[in-house]
Structure 1
Amino acid sequence: MADKSLNRTELVAAVASESGQSQAAVNGVVDALFAVVAKNVGEGTKVTIPGWISFEKTHRAARTGRNPQTGEPLEIAASDSVKVGAGSKLKAAVK
């Protein structure tokens, strides 16, 4: 795993510094970006930023699982989830 991490505050400060915008303006854009992504993915629309990242709603069917302590079978309900994929530019950046 990564030894370093970049939290939201540090990300906003870095983007503000790189773009010459205020941190308040960048923070508003980040909020708007995630609001739009969440709304669209929640509605079932795939959101893609070509070369960088994609977000897609997925469905998991109901299935039978096992309680690991007792071994008894139990029903796991159907659910929705999110699939996040890295694009080619992001993959190339980590090589």
Structure 2
Amino acid sequence: MNKTQLVEKLAEEYEFTKVFARDIVDNVFNSLAETIQKRDEVSISGFGNFKVAERQARPGRNPRTGEPIKIAASKNIKFKPATSLRASLNTKKRARSKKA
């Protein structure tokens, strides 16, 4: 699902205009981004946690030439899914038997 599909789903499900639904989605994403940029953790119950992870500088190799290079330190976002979300991915749905 992409952003446009999410907006369309909200607009249809809650009978919003697409403009209003897009404003809601943009606001949620902007709020998440602002919180993460402040290095705060975002925790959404039943969905998961987003947090900033810092990677230290390290040596590496240029894959084309094989030369050693220095890889700069960086910050990345890590996502840890909620237990309930992870569990829902691994449950087997029972096949319904058709009665004739």
TM-score above 0.5, yes or no: yes
Q: TM-score, normalised by structure 1?
A: 0.82
CA distance in 2, matches of 1:71, 1:57: 31
Q: String of CA shifts for 1:31-90, please: whole Å, max 9, x gaps.
A: 011111111101100001011122111111000001223322111111111112222333
Provide the residue aligned with 2:46 in structure 1. Answer: 51
Q: TM-score, normalised by structure 2?
A: 0.78
CA distance in 1, matches of 2:63, 2:8: 45
Q: Secondary structure at the match of 1:58?
A: strand
Identity, % of aligned pairs? 36
RMSD: 1.5
Correspondences of 1:21-32 after superposition (within 5 Å):
21-32=16-27
Provide the residue aligned with 2:5 in structure 1. Answer: 10
Match of 1:41 among 25, 32, 36: 36
How many residue pairs get matched?
A: 90
Q: String of CA shifts for 1:7-54, please: whole Å, max 9, x gaps.
A: 222211112222232222211111011111111101100001011122
CA distance in 2, matches of 1:36, 1:24: 18
The farther-off stretch of 28-37 and 68-77 is 68-77
Structure 1 runs not aligned, ≥5 long: 1-5
Structure 2 runs not aligned, ≥5 long: 91-100
